[in-house]
Structure 1
């Protein structure tokens, strides 16, 4: 796991989540790097034991493209670049919060 990549991901996602009204829990797994969890508007590094309503998995490039706005999360999911496991409604709320 690369702490630098996870730390940067936590910072980027924290900025995106500021001022949102997301009230669920979501786990982002960045393949080969680690994971982070969003619980409401707070974001932190996660580990395998952290549970969430939805888990989203992608490689670091896809995650970066979603955070930068170059790639829409829904488009990433529909094209198979972003995998989802869990509650689709929570994933949609998170997608709306990140837009």
Structure 2
């Protein structure tokens, strides 16, 4: 009398079921992640009005240089230029050029 063994079939069914469940979980996780990214991008568009935010403000042009002041005005003009340099409105090169113009006119 021949009795078929059913254990290999049961093992295959169990392994197949486990594989199916793992794949299903991965698909759900992937779907949730995509949904979350979509919602986040929609919120960013609402917050920023659909336009990318500017990285930095445009640099301010150096103020036009007035004719060379006389005497005491020379010191006040140099102090004003130094204040602009310290505030970040002028670069070091712009400051040096403006200082040279002020001193050349004296």
Q: TM-score, normalised by structure 1?
A: 0.23
Q: TM-score, normalised by structure 2?
A: 0.22
Larger Rg: 2
Q: Which one has a larger percent helix, Structure 1 or Structure 2? A: 2
Q: Which one has a larger percent strand, Structure 1 or Structure 2? A: 1
Query: Highest relative contact order (Cα 8 Å, sep 6+), 1 or 2?
Result: 1
